[in-house]
């Protein structure tokens, strides 16, 4: 501890400053400053030497916030226009060409005096150097791993107006090649908004003051002994920072966190040698309350408080939240081991958990400075409203902040988690790269493993299908699974999908997992009622259909003069006009290009109808299929592609279609066609899917057929004797003469009530009076047109929709008129 006199030390001691408690001093918040400079010039200029008595050297630095990111800080300060608006992100591409320095000046609580003090960073994106009071502490790389420094001998205890301690963090220039940092940082590109590699101090920074023996990790492993009891095996990792062995007392208290319970306590004497060591303590909870997903039971949580004492002196104390739940995996019935090798059915406390999932799509904002807690709360609330019982964080996206998992724990939403962001690339083959990724993975798993919401782990996303050496990638993720195996009991899948053409060539079984995206990317090659029933897989980890955000949301990020006809900012935000107009025609019989509101609404209805058809189909396959996941639930930026909730937390029309399809008790009408000729006999089947374990007796269902004017043309009632828990079953064949003329729509409404007349499920469908054979030919023609445009102008180049930007003749110059999308000119 620097610059404190003996008299001052004695005064502190007389005042009881060195109190017997652990102290955490949060350095997060708005009291940071930030400045950029060319790479390597910051140290030459002496930024790392700034201290409390020469603050004038940083008066012109901008204010910053931690946790946060560089782009958000620059935007707040007015140095950037909002990168989300229009094509502004392209104007911010100078940002990653610099290194960025963050400065925090502070005084420490005097209660920290004479304690061991460590400076903790929960996460920095991506690499940084750290100085405190001019002393270099170290360098760290990796977005997901926590790191810390012992600063007991560096910290100052004087009090001045602006603080006597100066923390300087140099962020290295943001990486520019994803392959070099994959696994330790997510890709900053993908099938959505793209331009800028994120960078910033994205998780909290704080000081901890405690004794010389610290609790580095607590892992609660458990097994359920009976209906009312569970055995906990609590693994505690301690570190003795001295060069002497210590005789200490380890005390562990376990009690209910969100319900009243007694306190279970274990206390034992231990000898702790220098360095790190692990201790195992067993504890039986005789009145165990289990944790369940929301549709299977209550979300009971416990907390384990670990305390290390030396006599009456406290060394360290930590609290860990966990849930008592037992995860086992079972093979899906209906497949042989030659068809499906992996056990894909998640069993929670002995009950089947059919995962009604959606890809989370990363944080609410790629710029973490905007990702405040209220966004997380609203998005988890909306996920539960839409009847999701699972969210999938896949390899395009980072692991989430702890608050996300805490919300899922309390909401009863499970998480299907890719261990690290490894997606769609050829992995480097250097041993140093592999070692760094594995270390990051272990740190990440240890940080997350006590959350009861996490139920299944995967190693990567689409890692084989586009790789130049898929066998190397497979070897890599297989080794990754072995590296994390000692640290978690959860089942591990190497990648998704496993059963595409490349996966089969690698030796995976033919019916494991598949990404049901061909309808979207095929652009007219298929129709939904032919495509989805052809897929026979244990799980569908990804089902992608796109749509536009709401009209008012679009106005927030598209310039007014580009809204309609759609200007180039639509293309920059990943509008695939060909895919959207194709889907519009398939679902509505109309490309819907003749008006802004009409086009937006059509895309959302098309997305919803396709999701509904597919989700209900795969749910009726239960238990042969055990999970279905839409891509996406949300994305991290305003785009014109994925999500049923847009960036501004507004529900699209497709939200309600997914909500219906994901009802825990679902009444659904299977139908092999959506297009029927006038007067033709429509034929369907009524099925009931029940994801609850509760059975229902003496239920009733009503089905109504309605014409284009919503007038009832046929209505029938049926008795349902019994709906078994955890079941999927066909009950009734239904039919009706198709009303109306070619070009009309007709509708079906279904209702299911229990024996007391309370609604268990309601559903509805919009169908077309049309010639399916003729419309399929039209779809193929639209798709052929789209294919030809892509072949000519490039698959990823949105300029293909804007002829003047593409330099075509016959159009006015781009600086004379706003370029508009081809076919949307009027």
pLDDT band, very low/low/confident/very high, at 16 (cuts 50, 70, 90): very low
649 and 501 in a single domain? The answer is yes
Answer whether residue 798 is part of any domain. Answer: no
**Residue 345: enclosing H or E segment and its boundaries?**
strand 345-348
Residue 149 has pLDDT above 60, yes or no: yes
500 and 591 in a single domain? The answer is yes
Provide φ and ψ at 463, rounded to 5°. -85, -15
Answer whether residue 803 is part of any domain. Answer: no
pLDDT band, very low/low/confident/very high, at 11 (cuts 50, 70, 90): very low
Answer whether residue 440 is part of any domain. Answer: yes
Q: How many residues does the chain have?
A: 826
Q: Among residues 162, 180, 210, which one ends one of the domains?
A: 210
Q: What angle do CA 653, 657, 661 make, to 5 degrees?
A: 165
Residue 581 has pLDDT above 90, yes or no: yes
The predicted pLDDT at position 41 comes to 98
Q: Which of 92, 343, 352 is nearest to 197 (CA)?
A: 92
The predicted pLDDT at position 817 comes to 67
Q: Among residues 160, 195, 210, which one ends one of the domains?
A: 210
Q: pLDDT digit string (tens) for 455-469? A: 999 999 999 998 999
Q: Kindly report the average pLDDT of the chain as a whole number.
A: 93
Is the bond preceding residue 623 a cis peptide, omega within 30 degrees? yes
User: CA-CA distance, 257 to 291, in Å (whole number)?
Assistant: 12
Answer whether residue 379 is part of any domain. Answer: yes
Residue 17 has pLDDT above 50, yes or no: no
Read off the CATH number of the domain in which 68 is found.
2.60.120.260
Answer whether residue 783 is part of any domain. Answer: no
Residue 756 has pLDDT above 70, yes or no: yes
639 and 548 in a single domain? The answer is yes
198 and 156 in a single domain? The answer is yes
Residue 70 has pLDDT above 60, yes or no: yes
> What is the mean predicted confidence (pLDDT) over 88-113?
95
Answer whether residue 55 is part of any domain. Answer: yes
The predicted pLDDT at position 1 comes to 47
> What is the mean predicted confidence (pLDDT) over 263-273?
95
Q: Which of 33, 147, 166, 47 is nearest to 108 (CA)?
A: 166
Read off the CATH number of the domain in which 314 is found.
2.60.40.10
Read off the CATH number of the domain in which 548 is found.
3.20.20.80
548 and 646 in a single domain? The answer is yes
> What is the mean predicted confidence (pLDDT) over 467-489?
97
Q: pLDDT digit string (tens) for 506-549? A: 999 999 999 999 999 998 899 999 999 999 999 999 999 999 99
417 and 549 in a single domain? The answer is yes
> What is the mean predicted confidence (pLDDT) over 360-388?
92
The predicted pLDDT at position 7 comes to 52
Contact yes or no for 518/526 (Cβ under 8 A): yes
Identify the top-confidence range among 193-197, 634-638, 652-656: 652-656
245 and 196 in a single domain? The answer is no
605 and 693 in a single domain? The answer is no
Provide φ and ψ at 668, rounded to 5°. -135, 150
> What is the mean predicted confidence (pLDDT) over 40-53?
93
The predicted pLDDT at position 429 comes to 96
Strand-pair category, 390-393 with 355-359:
parallel
Model pTM score: 0.95
Q: Which of 428, 433, 384, 441 is nearest to 410 (CA)?
A: 384
Domain count, the chain: 4
Answer whether residue 816 is part of any domain. Answer: no
User: In this predicted structure, which of 7-21, 30-44, 268-282, 668-682 has the lowest mean pLDDT?
Assistant: 7-21
570 and 717 in a single domain? The answer is no
pLDDT band, very low/low/confident/very high, at 813 (cuts 50, 70, 90): low
419 and 497 in a single domain? The answer is yes
Q: Among residues 615, 635, 662, which one ends one of the domains?
A: 662
277 and 355 in a single domain? The answer is no
HEC profile of 188-223 = CCCCCCCCCCCCECCCCEEEEEECCEEEEEEEEEEE
**DSSP string for 717-734:** EEEEEEE-SSEEEEEEEE
The predicted pLDDT at position 823 comes to 83
User: CA-CA distance, 417 to 430, in Å (whole number)?
Assistant: 26
pLDDT band, very low/low/confident/very high, at 193 (cuts 50, 70, 90): low
Give the domain extent around 280: 213-322
**Residue 600: enclosing H or E segment and its boundaries?**
helix 596-620
642 and 673 in a single domain? The answer is no
The predicted pLDDT at position 623 comes to 98
Q: pLDDT digit string (tens) for 799-811? A: 888 888 876 755 4
Answer whether residue 239 is part of any domain. Answer: yes
């Amino acid at each position: 501890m620097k610059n404190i006199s003996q008299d001052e030390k004695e005064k502190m001691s007389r005042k009881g400053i060195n109190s017997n408690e652990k102290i955490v001093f949060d350095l997060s918040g708005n009291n940071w400053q930030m400045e950029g400079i060319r790479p390597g010039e910051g140290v030459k200029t002496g930024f790392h030497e700034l201290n409390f008595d020469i603050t004038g050297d940083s008066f012109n630095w901008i204010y910053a916030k931690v946790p946060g990111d560089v782009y958000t800080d620059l935007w707040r300060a007015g140095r950037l226009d909002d990168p989300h608006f229009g094509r502004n992100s392209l104007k911010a591409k100078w940002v990653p060409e610099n290194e960025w320095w963050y400065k925090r000046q502070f005084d420490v609580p005097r209660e920290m005096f004479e304690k061991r003090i460590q400076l903790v960073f929960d996460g920095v994106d991506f690499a940084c150097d750290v100085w405190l009071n001019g002393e270099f502490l170290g360098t760290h790389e990796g977005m997901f791993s926590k790191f810390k420094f012992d600063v007991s001998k560096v910290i100052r205890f004087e009090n001045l107006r602006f603080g006597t301690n100066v923390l300087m963090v140099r962020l290295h220039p943001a990486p520019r090649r994803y392959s070099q940092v994959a696994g330790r940082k997510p890709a900053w590109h993908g099938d959505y908004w793209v331009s800028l590699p994120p960078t910033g101090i994205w998780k909290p920074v704080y000081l901890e003051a405690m004794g010389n023996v610290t609790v580095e990790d607590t892992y609660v492993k458990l097994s359920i002994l009976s209906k009312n009891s569970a055995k906990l095996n609590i693994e505690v990792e301690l570190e003795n920072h001295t060069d002497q062995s210590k005789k200490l007392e380890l005390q562990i208290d376990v009690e209910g966190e969100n319900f009243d319970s007694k306190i279970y306590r274990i206390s034992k004497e231990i000898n702790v040698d220098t360095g790190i060591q692990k201790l195992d303590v067993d504890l039986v909870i005789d009145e165990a309350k289990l944790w369940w997903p929301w549709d299977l039971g209550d979300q009971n949580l416990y907390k384990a408080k670990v305390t290390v004492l030396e006599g009456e002196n406290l060394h360290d104390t930590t609290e860990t939240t966990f849930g008592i739940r037992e995860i086992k995996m079972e093979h899906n019935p209906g497949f042989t081991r030659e068809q499906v090798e992996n056990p894909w059915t998640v069993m929670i406390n002995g009950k089947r958990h059919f995962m009604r999932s959606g890809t989370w799509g990363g944080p609410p904002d790629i710029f973490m400075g905007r990702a405040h807690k209220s966004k997380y709360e609203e998005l988890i609330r909306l996920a539960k409203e839409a009847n999701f019982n699972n969210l999938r964080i896949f390899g395009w996206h980072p692991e989430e902040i702890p608050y996300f998992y805490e919300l899922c724990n309390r909401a009863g939403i499970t998480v299907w988690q890719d261990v690290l962001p490894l997606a769609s690339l050829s992995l480097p083959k250097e041993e140093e790269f592999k070692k760094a990724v594995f270390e990051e993975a272990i740190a990440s798993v240890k940080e997350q493993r006590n959350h009861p919401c996490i139920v299944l782990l995967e190693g990567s996303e689409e890692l084989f299908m586009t790789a130049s050496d898929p066998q190397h990638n497979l070897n890599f993720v297989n080794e990754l699974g072995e590296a994390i195996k000692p640290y978690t009991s959860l089942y591990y899948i190497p990648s998704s999908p496993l059963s595409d053409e490349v996966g089969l060539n690698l030796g995976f079984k033919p019916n494991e997992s598949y990404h049901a995206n061909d309808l979207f990317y095929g652009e007219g090659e298929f129709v939904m009622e032919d495509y989805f029933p052809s897929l026979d897989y244990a799980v569908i980890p990804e089902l992608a259909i796109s749509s536009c955000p709401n009209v008012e949301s679009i106005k927030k990020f598209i310039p007014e003069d580009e809204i309609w006809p759609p200007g180039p900012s639509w293309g920059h935000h990943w509008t695939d006009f060909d895919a959207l107009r194709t889907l519009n025609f398939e679902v509505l019989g109309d490309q819907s290009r003749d008006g802004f509101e009409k086009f937006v609404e059509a895309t959302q209805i098309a997305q919803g109808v396709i999701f509904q058809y597919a989700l209900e189909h795969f749910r009726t396959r239960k238990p042969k299929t055990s999970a279905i996941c839409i891509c996406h639930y949300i994305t991290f930026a305003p785009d014109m592609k994925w999500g049923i909730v847009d960036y501004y937390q507004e529900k699209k029309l497709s939200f309600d279609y997914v909500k219906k399809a994901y009802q825990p008790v679902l009444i659904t009408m299977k139908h092999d066609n959506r297009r029927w000729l006038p007067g033709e006999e429509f034929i369907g089947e009524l099925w009931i899917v029940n994801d609850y374990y509760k059975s229902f007796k003496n239920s009733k269902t009503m089905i109504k057929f309605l014409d284009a004017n919503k007038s009832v043309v046929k209505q029938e009632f049926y008795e349902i004797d019994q709906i078994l828990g955890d079941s999927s079953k066909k009950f009734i064949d239904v039919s009706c003469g198709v009303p109306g003329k070619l070009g009309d729509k007709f509708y079906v409404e279904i209702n299911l009530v229990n024996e007391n007349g309370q609604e268990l499920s309601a559903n509805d469908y919009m169908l077309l009076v049309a010639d399916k054979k003729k419309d399929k030919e039209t779809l193929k023609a639209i798709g052929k047109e789209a294919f030809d445009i892509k072949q000519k102008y490039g698959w990823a180049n949105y300029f293909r929709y804007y002829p003047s930007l593409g330099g075509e003749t016959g159009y006015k110059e781009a600086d004379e008129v706003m370029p508009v999308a081809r076919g949307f000119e009027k």
